[in-house]
Amino acid sequence: MTEPRESKSIAHHVDAERLWRRHMELAQHGATGNGGVNRQALSDEEVTARRVLVGWGEAIGLVASNDAAGNLFLRLEGTAPDLAPVLIGSHIDSQPTGGKFDGAFGVLAALESVEAMVAAGARPRRSVDVVAWMNEEGSRFAPGMMGSAAFTCARKLADILSVHDAVGVGVATEIAKVLAAEPDLPGRPLGFPVAAFVEAHIEQGPILEAEGRTIGVVTGIQGKRTFRVTVTGEENHAGTSPRSARRDALVSAVAVVQALQQAMWDDADVVRFTIGRFDVTPNAPSVVPARVVFSIDLRHPDTDTLRDLGDRIPALCAAAAGRCAVEVRELLHDPPLTFPDAVRDRIRAAATDLGIPWMDIPSGAGHDARYLHYHCPTGMIFIPCLNGLSHHEAESATKDDIAAGARVLAETAFGLANQE
């Protein structure tokens, strides 16, 4: 695969200092005391951060717009503006104790990519839209990836608008607030045709760092199934009820968890099995627990393995629950997906041409790219993050790696935008 000569010069217009400065500036919106970011979806901090992005885009002639799901677009118009555009970007909402790079890097690298095209005087054939998807994290309004789900019709807009946060504020109210703060921006329809989508992101894992590679060409996103397990026993007095008379929900839940851990164990360490939430009722030191409700998060890159492992869960729970009743409810089943070669080849070629060391890598985490994958040819570019840490205030990435990621994204996007 060869790129036109002017392409090479685009990557050279990526300004590492400016890109780094913008990461630090954006992180001021929702900055925490520990150097992290608390900029949850549709918060006031996100409103001001969006305005900063719009300002940076308009300064170089990009046209800002938004849609009914609160997604934000900054368009570099192509020479054939009637063709479906290429979208590049990610999200700028964060976890409550998040970092400066998860999501923000993908949006700022996309902005830097079109800024480099502008600086190089290299106008692409198709328009290129920088996009910031609404509520990827899902920490305030669950589940996440709402903006990309609504855009691609994976979820109905009406369903998303009816979600409320922990204190009862609705998505509908907060999207209305965000759009009201951007009265100068024209609206875009949901689900318009897209030629391709590329998302750059920190890896959120330790592999690139360990392998000494700067770019991860993401092969796909592993599948994910989630369950809610309810173990029901009987409340009793800790001092008076003999063990033989108890139906202790915690005793049964612990046995169930150990049985599941054993069954999900794989020597290759590919299965991702996590019990992250575990709630005991009544949760009092001198009361034998009556109920335990816990979550299961199961992920695997192979469709059949994910199906088989997940399908075993109800029987495993029932067998290990002892005297207590157990109920298993599946909440989500997203099969694994593989990004198309057409996009992955372009990313590999861009990295190779620029002399940046790369490797193929699967994505353990979900991303907006999951939903876009079913809407248009999609790919992802990873860069290393310090110690593999993410969703953490100490999350970090280097100036050089960020710039390298932006260079590969700029070349990839320009190539895709010049396609027929």
Q: How far apart are the first and last CA of the chain?
A: 16
Nearer to a copy of itself, 5 or 243 (CB): 243
Q: How far apart are CA 399 and CA 50, in angstroms?
A: 22
Q: Which of 7, 226, 232, 412 binds a copy of itself (CB under 8 A)?
A: 226
The one segment of 90-98, 302-310, 372-380, 399-407 that binds a copy of itself by CB under 8 A = 90-98
Q: Does 142 bind a copy of itself (CB under 8 A)?
A: yes
Question: How many C-beta neighbours within 10 Å does residue 27 have?
Answer: 21
- Residue ranges in 350-409 that form contacts with a copy of itself under rule CB under 8 A: 363-366, 388-392
Q: Which of 297, 302, 327, 345 binds a copy of itself (CB under 8 A)?
A: 297
Nearer to a copy of itself, 70 or 99 (CB): 99
Q: Does 269 bind a copy of itself (CB under 8 A)?
A: yes
Tell me if 373 is assigned to a ligand binding site: no
Q: Which positions from 298 to 317 touch a copy of itself by CB under 8 A, shown as an x/- string?
A: -x------------------
Q: What are phi and psi of 129, to 5 degrees?
A: -105, 125
Q: Does 280 bind a copy of itself (CB under 8 A)?
A: yes
Q: Does 5 bind a copy of itself (CB under 8 A)?
A: no
Element (H, E) at 190: none
Q: How far apart are CA 234 and CA 232, in angstroms?
A: 7
Sheet strands (E) in 44-126: 63-67, 72-76, 86-91
Q: Which of 236, 305, 352, 396 binds a copy of itself (CB under 8 A)?
A: 236
Q: Does 271 bind a copy of itself (CB under 8 A)?
A: yes
Provide the CB-side half-sphere exposure for 289 (13 A, CA). Answer: 21
> Are the C-beta atoms of 105 and 226 separated by less than 8 Å?
no
Q: Does 254 bind a copy of itself (CB under 8 A)?
A: yes
Tell me if 137 is assigned to a ligand binding site: yes
Orientation of helix 303-320 relative to helix 249-264, angle to 10°: 150
Q: Does 319 bind a copy of itself (CB under 8 A)?
A: no
CB proximity list for 218: less than 8 A, separation 6 or greater: 339, 344, 360, 361, 362, 363, 369, 379, 380, 381, 382
The one segment of 41-49, 74-82, 91-99, 302-310 that binds a copy of itself by CB under 8 A = 91-99
Reduced to 3 states (helix: H, G, I; strand: E, B; else coil), residue 206 is: coil
Q: Which of 275, 293, 328, 359 binds a copy of itself (CB under 8 A)?
A: 275
Alpha carbon dihedral 51, 56, 59, 65, in 10-degree steps, equals -50
Strands 72-76 and 86-91: unpaired
CA angle 72, 219, 1 (to 5 degrees): 90
Q: Does 286 bind a copy of itself (CB under 8 A)?
A: yes
The one segment of 62-70, 189-197, 204-212, 409-417 that binds a copy of itself by CB under 8 A = 204-212
Q: Residues within the annotated binding site for Zn(2+)?
A: 91, 102, 137, 201, 391
Task: Please give the residue ranges that form the binding site for a copy of itself (CB under 8 A).
Answer: 95-97, 138-139, 142, 144, 203-206, 222, 224, 226, 234-245, 248, 250-251, 254-255, 257-258, 261, 269, 271-280, 282-289, 295, 297, 299, 363-366, 388-392
Q: Residues within the annotated binding site?
A: 91, 102, 137, 201, 391
